[in-house]
Amino acid sequence: MNYFVVDAFATSKFTGNPAAVCLLDTELPDGELQMLAAEFNLSETAYLQRLEEGYYRLRWFTPTIEVNLCGHATLAAAHVLWAHCEVAVNSLRFKTRSGDLTANRGIDGVSLEFPLTPISSVSSAENTALHDVTGGIAAARRAGEDLLIELADEAAVQSFIPNLSLIAALPARGLIVTAMASREPRVDFVSRFFGPAAGINEDPVTGSAHCALAPYWAPRFGRNELKGRQLSARGGDVGVVIAGDKAILSGRAVTVMAGEIY
């Protein structure tokens, strides 16, 4: 089986978020897919299987679980198909746990059509748990499978020290920490993402989190086209546009390595 390791939401290698992309010829047992993802030990390993021209089954695994939605590994998968598999169509469809997703190729990179994540109020129990995690919250929201907190400013997000055991105990896939950007005029908001319960202590760039960050921040800016920056050690930028019930994520990707799995 051929595989590629791709840095997604990146314009140069060793930045953005790395994902392994494996090309399946036949079905493999879920246990084997999970062990292989643990072997790669990246935040996500994507498995692609061709169904028909331009249409592929796509699954995503962290080192410990299969997840319902992953942005950067979808971007990496689309990049592999166009850059290394001689796929000619400029629009790809992926059959996933979150329904059919679309990737489009343009002169400025790849755009992904993802479902918008609804933002809702947290319960009193969730609010208490989040207060224990942060010691004080500017605002807290439920963001689909995740919980989201807004801190005072960009510096607070950058310096946030996560208590991973408390975050792992939250009733959520992970925790999004965000604030309005202040250091770069072309960036609207910043964020970080922690998912220790899913085997990801801190994710370098989280496309799926931006499906929630976009509707969270859009009313504050009064527009539906935004740019986010994730302040992980590797860092990365995600463009996002709200279009009806979709979040259109955009970015680039770079192949770092390729090989064969025996």
Catalytic residues: 44
Looking at the DSSP assignment, which residues form a beta bridge with residue 242? 247
Contact 55, 93 (CB under 8 A): yes
- Residue ranges of E strands in the chain: 2-8, 17-23, 44-52, 55-61, 66-67, 91-96, 99-106, 109-115, 119-120, 139-143, 146-150, 175-180, 189-195, 200-203, 225-230, 236-243, 246-251, 253-260
d(CA 83, CA 157): 35
d(CA 237, CA 58): 23
Widest CA span in the chain: 52
Contact 259, 7 (CB under 8 A): no
